[in-house]
Amino acid sequence: MSAPKHCTLLFVLLMTVGPLSAIAALPFAVDGQPLPSLAPMLERVTPAVVNISTQSTVRSQDHPLLRDPFFRWFFELPGGAQREHSQSLGSGVIVDAQRGLVLTNNHVIEKADEIRVTLHDGRELRADLLGSDPETDVAVLRIPADGLVAVHLADSDLLRVGDFVVAIGNPFGLKQTVTSGIVSALGRSGLGIEGYENFIQTDASINPGNSGGPLVNLRGELVGINTAILAPSGGNVGIGFAIPINMADAIQRQIVEHGSVQRGTFGARVQSPTPDLIQALDLPSGTRGAVVTDVTPASPAARAGLRPGDLIVRINDTAIRSAPELTTRLALLRVGDRARVDVLRNGRSARLSAVIADPYEDFVDGDEISHHFAGARLGEVIDESPLGENPGVAVGTVIDGSPAYRRGLREGDVLFQANRVRITTLDELRAAIRNGISRLKLRRGDRLVTLLSR
């Protein structure tokens, strides 16, 4: 296939300018001293960067009539579901050479039937997915290979705005591309990209295909996993985002140990300080932290003595600058972990201690309701949404590949209807599906979803 004319013209211009720019090239040394270069660092790091390609099979989105067997027979349409194959490309980074562990983004491997990893030396391997966490967009792969090279992890809490960083990946399928920049901002949140956001913002160019690749400092230490860009025009505008490696590593450890992320519950609602709140609480101007607005009765926060109006300034000796940062820190704690919480209350400092609880401790195993729900935990909740508060049956953890998972249930779903019957309790759900399941209606985030029997 011939290249478009504009591409050919660009290539000619680059070839024309090339020899001229070579004349003005920088010398290799000045006064006998070599010029600074990132090359030595990159020679150590790039062997740890991998290309990730996936293949998946998806059902075509036919009109509902086309799923009706009589309709298809009457119009002599071919039977069976139409399926399409899709491919995606991304990047990853080896973080444990002995165990073959690779960090990448969840969205790079989501719904993939097959994941293949290409190493720096050209070897292509089939990877196993150990687990993923859509809420932080982190996934962990394992590859069976010898002679791997891993990158060293930095402490991303020590990053400062202005630090130099380098992004490495495979943008647009171009292998081992390196871009550099600085840390533009820290603790970016509220972007609506992930459930828990605490991004490093950088102006190092990040493009499609860079997702899952490493962001490293000038020592070649991993400080983040590149995950997204802000691209109003569809191209890179110098605003890229990376998941801090401290967060990604905490998620990785849980996935390797448990196969999934086991998040607990704290039981407090918070918001970042506003000028009005600062004045109402008689706090110093410019105060940073997370203001407690509500405490759930009998929750870990309530048992620790937290009260509305408290300003949380530290958790486990880490300073808290905003409500999203506190939410992210709590999300990395497991059930049973202890949280030391430093607060300001009426101008005085206090340290509280809370034990993170299991959010589903009162839930029941799904197979107690029906064998169709085996592998899920179910419980009665008051579901809150912009439409108001409504009782329903919440879905807790769901084991991958279980009957409940195959039925389409996912953690966080809230069931409202079963076989067109409104349900608010486990007993009502049990009664509605006594003769089988043909249709389930639920809320998933801000969407209403209908699951039909197949």
- Residue showing tokens 């150990």: 130
Number of residues in the chain: 454
Query: Which neighbouring-strand residues pair with 188?
Result: 199
CA gap 439, 302 in Å, rounded: 39
* Residue 135: both structure tokens together: 């809420």
Q: Nearest 5°: CA angle at 78, between 73 and 79? A: 75
- Residue showing tokens 């972007």: 191
Say which residues have a Cβ less than 8 Å from residue 261's Cβ, sequence separation at least 6: 131, 133, 135, 136, 251, 254, 255
CA gap 367, 51 in Å, rounded: 41
* Residue 357: both structure tokens together: 């609880």
257's enclosing H/E stretch is: helix 245-258
* Residue 418: both structure tokens together: 């079963």
Query: Which neighbouring-strand residues pair with 200?
Result: 242
Beta strands in 320-432 (DSSP E): 338-345, 348-355, 364-365, 376-385, 388-398, 414-418, 421-422
Q: Where are the alpha helices (DSSP H) in 296-402?
A: 300-304, 323-331
Query: Which neighbouring-strand residues pair with 352?
Result: 341
CA gap 239, 206 in Å, rounded: 8
Query: Which neighbouring-strand residues pair with 451?
Result: 440
Contact 278, 344 (CB under 8 A): no
Q: How many CA atoms lie within 13 A of 151 on its CB side?
A: 32
Q: Which residues are catalytic?
A: 107, 137, 211
* Residue 346: both structure tokens together: 């009426």
Beta strands in 48-198 (DSSP E): 49-59, 83-96, 101-104, 114-118, 124-126, 128-133, 138-142, 164-169, 177-188
